[in-house]
């Protein structure tokens, strides 16, 4: 039996003896985040580091500046330096095969964090929010706000989706499109740009500037007459929504559309308060971080790891056992309860 197996058995015996989960002092956990450029990844990393340290772990937290080769190198260094479990939020889900092979060779469990790691059997678990539900929340918000079941329309819709290299982006998009497509097919929703398919509306790296440039082109090509209004702009997350909102501010004179988002970033929450964004799906990263810390502890202690989905997330090689947290939406009516009263933000941060 190898050294890791002996360690896990020893810890499992300790757990049974004490009747509770205990963590080995100084066990090092590698946490790989994609970038510091988006607010949410800073929050995810900070939350997880704090909770892991509170649980007695040493934390090797690294950010990869949205560069795949940097992330690959960082993870390989984590493995070489003896990290016992890896938590990875991938820049591109299919680009870390070499590092995952190295983890498997060293029998290091891997938790895919919020973005599924693709094309590898070295992924032990996946922890995320219900990504398809994120899209359905956005789609249902649009249906209810426009009262599409009771009015004839038509309403003009534009769509901005996420990074094609991020497996989650397809779930977000599909959840919303599955809700909205019957209204597109019936003519209640019209897409003047004609851009509906995912590959037409995707935004590489979720970049605000890319979303803004595309939105400016759509506005100049389809809404420049001063008479045609865009009634709703489905955006998969807040960084893309911010780009759309910047384009609207600079290039659009019609009635202001419903704009959706996700993550409740500070600037977008301010825009919700100011009426520039209708809603944002709130995924409390504290909840996700806490769940991952629990899963790490269960792995290290040799316990059964909590999952609630063993069917949905096929990474092309295996179906990865997953734990899905449930998202909710925030808007100008409930943001105080969700974001301030819960301690996620202070009032000063949203001034």
Q: Which residue is it, tokens 């040799």?
A: 302
Q: How confident is the model at residue 2 (pLDDT cuts 50, 70, 90)?
A: very low
Residue 137 sits in a domain of what CATH number? Answer: 3.40.50.2300
> Given strand 155-160, what is the order of strands in its sheet?
189-190, 155-160, 232-235, 258-259
The percent of residues above 90 in pLDDT, for the chain, comes to: 85
Same domain (yes/no): 217, 261: yes
The whole-number pLDDT of residue 81 equals 94
Residue 266 predicted with pLDDT over 90: yes
Given 255, 283, 311, the domain boundary residue is: 283
Domain count, the chain: 2
Note whether residue 346 is domain-resident: no
Helices and strands, counts by H and E, the chain: 12, 12
- Using DSSP's 3-state secondary structure scheme, residue 114 falls into coil
Residue 22 predicted with pLDDT over 80: no
pLDDT top residue among 167 and 62 = 62
| Segment 190-201, tens digit of pLDDT | 999 999 999 999
Same domain (yes/no): 138, 269: yes
Domain that residue 211 falls in: 131-283
Average pLDDT over residues 281-310: 94
Same domain (yes/no): 78, 213: no
| Segment 159-181, tens digit of pLDDT | 999 999 888 999 999 999 999 99
Same domain (yes/no): 193, 246: yes
Same domain (yes/no): 255, 137: yes
The whole-number pLDDT of residue 93 equals 87
Same domain (yes/no): 116, 171: no
Same domain (yes/no): 161, 146: yes
Cα first-last separation, the chain? 58
Average pLDDT over residues 278-296: 93
| Segment 120-167, tens digit of pLDDT | 999 999 999 999 999 999 999 999 999 999 999 999 999 999 999 888
- How many C-beta atoms surround the C-beta of residue 144 within 10 A? 10
For CA atoms 262, 97, 42, 47, give the dihedral sign.
positive
Note whether residue 34 is domain-resident: yes
Name the pTM for this structure. Answer: 0.79
């Amino acid at each position: 039996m190898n050294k890791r197996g002996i360690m896990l058995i020893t810890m499992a015996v300790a757990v049974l003896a004490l009747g509770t989960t205990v963590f080995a002092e100084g066990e090092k956990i590698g946490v790989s985040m994609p970038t510091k450029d988006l607010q949410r990844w800073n929050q995810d990393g900070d939350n997880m580091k704090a909770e892991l340290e509170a649980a007695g772990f040493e934390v090797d937290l690294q950010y990869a500046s949205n560069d795949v080769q940097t992330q690959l190198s960082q993870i390989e260094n984590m493995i070489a330096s003896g990290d016992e479990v890896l938590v990875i939020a991938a820049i591109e889900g299919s680009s870390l095969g070499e590092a995952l092979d190295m983890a498997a060779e060293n029998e290091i469990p891997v938790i895919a964090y919020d973005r599924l790691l693709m094309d590898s059997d070295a992924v032990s678990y996946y922890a995320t929010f219900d990504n398809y539900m994120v899209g359905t929340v956005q789609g249902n918000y649009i249906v209810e706000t426009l009262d599409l079941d009771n009015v004839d329309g038509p309403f003009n819709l534009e769509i901005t989706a996420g990074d094609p290299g991020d497996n989650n982006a397809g779930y977000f998009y599909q959840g919303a499109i599955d809700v909205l497509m019957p209204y597109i097919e019936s003519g209640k929703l019209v897409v003047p740009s004609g851009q509906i398919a995912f590959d037409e509306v995707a935004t590489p790296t979720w970049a605000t500037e890319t979303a803004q440039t595309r939105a400016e082109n759509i506005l100049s090509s389809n809404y420049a007459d001063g008479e045609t209004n865009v009634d709703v702009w489905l955006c998969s997350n807040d960084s893309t929504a911010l780009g759309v909102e910047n384009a609207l501010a600079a290039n659009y004179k019609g009635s202001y559309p419903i704009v959706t988002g996700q993550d409740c970033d500070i600037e977008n929450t301010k825009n919700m308060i100011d009426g520039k964004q209708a809603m944002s799906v709130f995924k409390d990263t504290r909840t996700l971080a806490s769940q991952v810390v629990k899963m790490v502890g269960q792995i290290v202690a040799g316990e059964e790891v909590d999952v609630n989905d063993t069917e949905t997330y096929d990474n092309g090689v295996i179906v990865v056992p997953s734990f899905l947290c449930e998202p909710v939406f925030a808007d100008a009516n409930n943001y105080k309860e969700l974001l301030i009263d819960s301690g996620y933000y202070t009032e000063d941060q949203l001034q």
